[in-house]
Chain A
Amino acid sequence: MTTISASPTAADPSVQTPPAAAPAAAPATGLPAGPAAAKPQSLTFAKALNLAMSDAMEADDAVVVFGEDVGLLGGVFRITDGLTKRFGEERCFDTPLAESGIVGMAVGMAMNKMKPVVEMQFDAFAYPAFEQVVSHVAKMANRTKGKVRLPMVIRIPYAGGIGGVEHHCDSSEAYYVHTPGLTVLAPSTAADAYTMLRDAIACPDPVVFLEPKKLYFAKEEVDVDALRLRYADGTGAEATAVTSIGKAVIVREGSDATLIAYGPSVPTALAAAETAAEEGRSLQVIDVRSLVPFDDETVCAAVRRTGRAVVIAEAPGFASVAAEIVARVQERCFHSLASPVRRVTGFDIPYPAPKLEQQYLPGVDRILDVVDELQWEDK
C-alpha cells in the first residue's frame, strides 16, 4: 500500500498536493512539438522526469527502465507513466519484488552494454539493495581499473513532507554520499528534474538520483524544447560538455547571508528568503543539486560574498550532508566569515508520524530564527 494520499499540512509553503489516484491521461510524449511549443508551459516535476526518460529511451535503445509497478501502472507516483505502452515491455518492465535483485540485475545489464534506469519504490525500501549499491555499483569501476563502468541510474523517491506513514519519508542521502564511486543528485525544480535525469542517464558512472517526493506535483513554467535542445544531437556529447552534474546554482541573489539547500529544502529556503526580504534582510539561496560531486567553488564563492551561511536539510543533522557542507565552507571561507556557519536540519530521530512532521521539518520560522543568530551586531 503506497501512502501518498494523506493530506499535506499547510505550514510549509512548498508542500504540493498530489493529484487524485488516476494516472494522467497524457501520452508519454504529451508535449506538443514545433514552434508553437517554444515557450514556457506548465510542467510538473513528475512529468519532467517522465519526459526525461521517454526522450532518453527514444534517443538510445540501450536505455531500459525497470522496478516495482513501473510497467502498466506507471509507478506508484506515475513517474514511468506510459513508457511500457510506448516502448514495449522489453524496455520498461515490472520486476519481482526484490530490491537487491533489481539493482543487482541492473549491474549485470550495465556490464553488458545497457543503460538501466531503475526505480526504488520509496527511500526506505531501497535498503535491501544496499549491499549491491555499496559493494558493486560503487566499486566496480575502481576494482576493474576502469574497464567495467556502470552507466546506470537508481531513482529514489525520497524525503518527507507528504504526510506519509513510516518507511515512506526517509532522507537517506548520507548513506549514498558516504560511498565513494557514486554520483548523487537531488534536483529541486521541474526543469532540473528533466535536465539532471538526462545528464544522469548520459553519465558513464552510476548515479543515485534522489527525487523529493513532496515536489512531484509542483507545477512550474518550463520551456521544454529549450531544455531538450541540449540533447538533440543524439550523441550525448553536448549534454556531457555542459552537464549539470557537479554544479550548484544560485537560485536567488542576496547580499546579507547565504542559505544553502538541496532537494526538498530549496523551496523552503526560497520561502524563508522571501519572508526575510519583507523584513528587510537580503538572503541569497543556493541549490546544491549535485551532492556528489560537490561544487565547492560555487558554494564557497557565494558565501565569501555574503560572509554568513546557513545550511538547510531535512535529514537528521548528525554526520549528515548538511554537516559536511558546514565543515567544507568553514574550512575554505574562514577569513570571509562574519559568524559561524549554522545548519537547520531534521532532529536526530526516526522520521516522525504525519501529525508531527511539520515540527520536525526545517521550516521558514526555524530558518529565520537561526539567521537572526548570525551575529549581526558584529557587522
Chain B
Amino acid sequence: MSPHSRGTAQPEADMLPSQQPVRLIDENGSAAVGRTFKTSYALPTEQTLLRGYGQLVMGRRVNDQASALVRQGRMAVYPSSHGQEACQVAAAMCLADHDWLFPTYRDTVAVMARGVDPVQVMELLRGSWHGGYDPYEHNVATQSTPLATQLLHAVGVAHAAKLRGEDTVVVALCGDGASSEGDFHEALNFAAVFHVPVIFFVQNNEYAISVPLIHQSVAPSLAHKAIGYGMPGERVDGNDLAALLAVLDDAVRRARSGGGPSLIEAHTYRMQSHTNADDASRYRSDDEVRAWEPRDPLLRLRTYLSTAGLLTAAEEERIGAEAERVAAVLRDGLNVEVTVDPQDLFRFVYSEPTPQLLEQSDMLREELSREGATS
C-alpha cells in the first residue's frame, strides 16, 4: 500500500488560515470579540490558563535572569525570548510526555517548560562543548543553531514513530528568518508527502537579527505557505496564550489522529536585542519597540485572570516565589565552576575512539601531566 495520498482535503476549506490571526484574549485582557476564525476555537479551561500564567511568569524570570548572568560573565550568550514567552509556554504545554519538541537557540524557556533541568538547559549557552541535557529524558532535541535544519529531524522522528504505529506528535520550532532556508521548504514538503504528525510552529518576531521580515519574504503571510505544501495553515496572535493553546491543541489533535502536519505562524515581537552581543538600536526605533509593550503576553493574561477572579493575591505570590526559586537555582548552578575533563573531547566523537583519537588523547594527557608536574 502506498504511504502517500493526496487525501480529500480542499485547499480553501481545509488548508487556508483564518483571515486574521486567531485571538481569544485581547490586549486589554478581555475576551476578544468581533473576529471569526476558520475553526471555532474554545477558550482553554481556567485551570489551564492559570497553569500557563505561572509558566509565563517563570519564563519571563528565566529570560531576565539569564540575560543578567551573561552581563556578569557567567554565561557566554543568551538569545532571550523576552516578549515571546506565550509562544514558548504554549509549545511545551500542548504536548504529551511521549511527544517530541525540536527547539532552536531562542527556545530555552520552552525547553524548561517541558521539564528539562534549568541548569542543564543553559549548558550550551554558558559555553560548554555539548548540549547539556539528555534529549531522551524529556523528548526534547538539543537546541539547534543551524537555522531550519532541525525541522527535518522532527520529520524523521515523526516518520519513525508513524512507521511503528505510535501516536507521537512532534512540535518543531523556528523563526521567521529561518523560513527562508531551504531546509524549511524541504521539511514542510517531506512532512506533507509522508503525512507525518509534525506541527511547524513559526515564531514570527519580525526580525532575523537585524533584518526585518519584509526582506525575507514579501508574502503577505507565512501561514499561507502551508497550502503550497498541502497542509493546513493557521495564524495566531503570538502574545495571547489562550489563542496559542487553542490553535496548537487543534493541530496536535489532528496530527495525533492521523491528520498529518500543520504550519502555524505566531505573530509576536522580540522585545530585546537578538542576543546580548547585538545592538538593536542600529536597526529599529524605540517607538517601534514601545508600541509592543502594551501587547505584553503576561500583562494581558494577568488582567484577564484577575478580572475573572481567578488570580488571587495569594496565588500571584506563590507563582512569583516559584519563579524566584528557579532563578536562584540558575544563579547557584551557573556560579559553580564546571569541572571539565579534557579527555571528554575524545570520548564521544565515535562510539569507540579511533586509533588516531586514542593517540591524540594520549598526547593531551601527557601534556597535561607535564603541566601538572611543573606547576
A interface size (C-beta, 8 A):
49
List the B residue with the shortest CB-CB distance to A132.
B149
Contacts of A145 in B (CB 8 A): 130-131, 344, 347-348
Contacts of A41 in B (CB 8 A): none
Contact with B along A94-124 (1 / 0, CB 8 A): 0110101101111111111110100000000
Please measure, in the bound complex, the distance between the C-alpha atom of A131 and the C-alpha atom of B187, giving whole angstroms. 14
Contact with A along B42-75 (1 / 0, CB 8 A): 0000000000000000000000000000000000
Q: From A89, A90, A128, A136, give the contact of B149 (CB < 8 A).
A: A136
- Asked whether any CB of chain B lies closer than 8 Å to the CB of A5, the reply is no
Quote the shortest CB–CB distance from B147 to chain A (angstroms): 10
- Asked whether any CB of chain A lies closer than 8 Å to the CB of B283, the reply is no
Please measure, in the bound complex, the distance between the C-alpha atom of A15 and the C-alpha atom of B141, giving whole angstroms. 46
Please measure, in the bound complex, the distance between the C-alpha atom of A149 and the C-alpha atom of B134, giving whole angstroms. 12
Quote the shortest CB–CB distance from B163 to chain A (angstroms): 6
Please measure, in the bound complex, the distance between the C-alpha atom of A107 and the C-alpha atom of B149, giving whole angstroms. 10
Secondary structure type dominating chain B contacts: helix
B interface size (C-beta, 8 A):
43
- Asked whether any CB of chain B lies closer than 8 Å to the CB of A314, the reply is no
Q: Which of A128, A147, A183 has the most CB of B within 10 A?
A: A147
Quote the shortest CB–CB distance from A299 to chain B (angstroms): 11
Contacts of A147 in B (CB 8 A): 134-136
Quote the shortest CB–CB distance from A293 to chain B (angstroms): 4
Q: Are B189 and A105 in contact (CB under 8 A)?
A: no
Q: Are A111 and B156 in contact (CB under 8 A)?
A: yes
Contacts of A105 in B (CB 8 A): 152-153, 155-156, 159, 190
- Asked whether any CB of chain B lies closer than 8 Å to the CB of A204, the reply is yes
- Asked whether any CB of chain B lies closer than 8 Å to the CB of A296, the reply is yes
- Asked whether any CB of chain A lies closer than 8 Å to the CB of B206, the reply is no
Within 8 A of A (CB), among B223-256: none
- Asked whether any CB of chain A lies closer than 8 Å to the CB of B37, the reply is no
- Asked whether any CB of chain B lies closer than 8 Å to the CB of A135, the reply is yes
List the A residue with the shortest CB-CB distance to B163.
A90
Q: From B156, B190, B344, give the contact of A110 (CB < 8 A).
A: B156
Contact with B along A277-304 (1 / 0, CB 8 A): 0000000000000001111110000000
11 more contacts with CB within 8 A, not counting A103-B152, A144-B142, are A98-B189, A107-B156, A108-B154, A111-B157, A113-B164, A131-B183, A142-B130, A145-B130, A149-B351, A246-B354, A293-B355
